Structure formats: C-alpha cells, structure tokens
Amino acid sequence: MKRKLFLVSTAIGNYDDITIRALNILKNVDFIICEEYKAARRMLAHYKINKELIALNEHNENDVVDEIVAEILNGKTTALISDCGTPLFSDPGHLLVGLCIAHGIEVIPVPGSNSLLPALIGSGYDFEKFYYYGWLSPKKDIRRKQLLNLRRMKEVIVLMDTPYRLKRLLSDVTNMFGKTTPVCLAFELTMKDEKYYRGSAQKVLNIAEKKNLKGEFVLIVNNR
C-alpha cells in the first residue's frame, strides 16, 4: 500500500453505489485528498471512515501538490476523491497525477460511479460512437462558437453544466441545433428525483421551464 495514489470513484448521489474495493481503500490509506471538506466529511461519516483530509481544488491545486507528493514519497499512501463520482472527470487533480507519475509514484484508478454512462445507456440512443464535450463556456460569445462547431458534428453529443444553467443550456441547444433535435435530459441520476426527459429539444425545454428544473444533469443531444 505504500507510496501509492489511488483515484477512488465514489457515489454520484446514492451512497449505496460505492464499491467494496473503494471503501476498503479509503479505510486503509494514510490520508484522503478531497475537493471540499464539507462534502467529504459528510460522505465519509456515512461510511464511518475517519481520516486526515487535505483539500485540493481548482483554487489551491498549485499550492498543495508539492506537499502531497512529498508525503507520498515519504512512504505514505493516499486516495483522491471528488465531491462525487469519478475523480478528474470535470474535476481537479490532473496536476497532482502528472507530478506523481513524474516522481515514479504508482497511480491506481479505482473504477466506480460516474454520470456519463448511466446517462447514455438510459437515453435510448445508439451510442456505439459518441462525442463527449462536457462543459460549455459561460461566456456568451465563446459558448455560441462552441455550439456552432458542435452543430456540424453528426454524432451523439454529451453536454454538462451547472444546475443553475440547465434551462439556459436547453435554450441554447434548441436555438442552435433546432427545435426538433432529439435530446435526452438525464436528471438527478441515482437520486430520489431521478428522471429521464426524452423528446425534441423544444419539448424538453418546455418541461424544464414548466417544472422549473434545477439539479445535477447530463444532456445528450442526438445530432445524427
């Protein structure tokens, strides 16, 4: 277990979705690297795990990576978790992983929950090939250019954004791809309000506005 960095996938909403392997690793590492203390403490308390935590996020990654790598090189083992789901997937940690590899530290991914695959398999679309774009820019001009480029791609396209920009994203897709473009909104996956909204972009936008939807989501656009 010494001198290793585990990239541990945790649940994306339903705490029952974590793997036995992930729990065993979190119980046995010397310390845990988390995105935010509050979310990590809440999750670890649920599993009755009490470990030293070091926060690593988009604001402090440059400042803490050297300290973390030094701890590992001194013989400690650690696990990197994000607030939910799979680490590094639209989350910080890339600099840490790169430094660990450069120093000969073994980096071990521990697979588990993520939002991408449940959204795709529940969409009803043929996704033998798909294009994951992820998060669009919040800046209007850049966002429009990104959507114009995506519109030229005849693929199943995966988009993500923050809960408060859900309706804006649906509106942008409706305007840029067309009202009749098929989409699937995978909403609050694994949680009690989980729902798949399928239909034309305009139909799903209308539903989102009528229900005032606000929550974690993945949007699948069938642009074939």
pLDDT, tens digit (0-9, with 9 covering 90-100), for 6-40? 999 999 999 999 999 999 999 999 999 999 999 99
Both structure tokens of 131 = 């294009």
Query: What's residue 90's pLDDT?
Result: 83
Q: Are the beta carbons of 153 and 224 closer than 8 angstroms? A: no
Average model confidence (pLDDT) for the chain? 96
For position 1, what pLDDT does the model report?
58
Looking at residue 105, its pLDDT comes to 97
Q: Give the end of a domain, one of 82, 110, 138.
A: 110
Q: Which of 18, 44, 24 has its CA nearest to residue 33? A: 44
Q: Which residues pair with 130 in a beta bridge?
A: 156
Q: Do 137 and 100 belong to one domain?
A: no
Residues 133 and 64 in one domain: no
Domain shared by 96 and 122, yes or no: no
Residue whose C-alpha is closest to residue 114's, from 92, 85, 81, 91 = 85
Taking phi first (over 0 means left), then psi (-120 to 50 degrees means alpha), and beta for anything else, what does residue 141 get? alpha
pLDDT value of position 50:
96
What is the CATH classification number for the domain harbouring 167? Answer: 3.30.950.10
Q: Are residues 78 and 140 in the same domain?
A: no
Going along the chain, which residue ranges are E strands? 4-8, 31-34, 52-55, 78-80, 106-110, 130-135, 156-160, 182-187, 195-200, 217-222
Q: In the chain, what percentage of residues exceed pLDDT 90?
A: 96
What is the band of 89 on the pLDDT scale with cuts at 50, 70, 90? confident
